[in-house]
Structure 1
Amino acid sequence: MSGGLAVLWKNNVNCRVIGSSINHIDIHIVERNVPVWRLTCYYGFSERARRHDAWNMLRQLAQVDGLPWFIFGDFNDLLYASDKSGKHAHPLGLLDGFRAAVEDYSLTELELTRGEFTWEKGKGTDNWQFRFRFENVWLKEPSFYDEVSTFLSGIPTIQLLPKLLLVSSFMAKWGRNFFHKFRDKVKKQKEVIDGLINRVDEDGVRSYFIEKYRLDDLMKQEEAYWQQRAKTIWLSEGDTNSKKFHAQALMRKKVNRIDFLRNDQDEIIDN
């Protein structure tokens, strides 16, 4: 829930964890008719100021034992300038430092067989992959649980990753349809209330409040939808300390401020 690393393996593979930290998990793997070998699953420091710590960590890991060693993961580093796409060149000092750490222990890079880059900012390439985002507002729709459960029960017994991809694709499609239908539901619900607002008979008043409660529930769902998006935008762009977010903060303060109240005698109360 708060970050970290995890390694999963099948029951027919004999694995023994020999060490770990917040940046790596070290494993000895025993296979039939194959000498014992070592696997390190690695995640490098994301902070550029800690690159030297990452390189020194690689050097320390390389000295653990003399077994055949395979290390993979996200190094947050580049060996060559060509490994990066974009107008800003990667600093030469960082390239040289990481390359030196790799060469110190004769590590050999395995070429990627698919996808030239491990991370892409946006669409536009043949290798761009689908990104799934779960919407909190879906949990407020009763039919969500039933439809996802029905879809899950229809999936044959397969490995975990393909199953997750199938379910996430289904939920993403469900979410798109839900949002389009949701806007129609809000519009129709407002029309129902407009038709009841002028009624003064007991049944009319009762119906008005029932339909008003239903509209309130829809509004809460819509609020959850946009609240999640607002937080996502803030998390992705708020640290830039830009004028845009300063303006948003000032506007929010202005909107939330109450300058005065007016009582039943139409007097302004401002203290």
Structure 2
Amino acid sequence: MGDFNDILHQTEKREGNAQPLNLINGFRDAVESSGLSDFSFEGYQFTWERSKDTPNWVEAKLDKILTSDSWNDLFMHAKASSVIAPKSDLLPLHLHMYQAINQKPKGRFRFENLWLKESLCRDVMIECWSNSYGYPLIDRVGRCGKAIWDWGKNFSRNFHRRIDYWKSRMEHTKHRRDLHGISLFREAQFQYLRVLRQQSDY
């Protein structure tokens, strides 16, 4: 698993000079003679690029996961995916061997002080406080507390959904070469890194 600096098929390279057939055939023969096969992965397939956003932009699928039949039998539920790395010309691959989980442990909810950094948390509090005008103070505090509680639970649980969303947006726009497509990719890149920083804070 890693950067083999070669491709198995011409379709694994986009733009630039065509890869010499003798190199492709040599690499393919070496893989097959070793009893290995190319393990497919999800996500963006071109794991290396050069001169992005220029007329000389070249992409290729240089990173691969090569596995044997015995490994495939042992880890039949394994899955892999490429991981968008906005600050690198290489996309790392993530390989996960799934195991059966009988029961998901229940987490205990608690208020996170870092929520106070989120503008949405402030908006929820202001809106609830305004809507509860005229109620006794203890009721207003209780209503606002519940509103923030509900918002906070959803906010904490939605990290993976938001990360997957912006990752998907980067994957869908990464190959775009027009100015609008590049702008969309950079916006998705910014939001993706922002959510990752938020997750690391929690």
For normalisation by structure 2, the TM-score amounts to: 0.39
Q: TM-score, normalised by structure 1?
A: 0.30
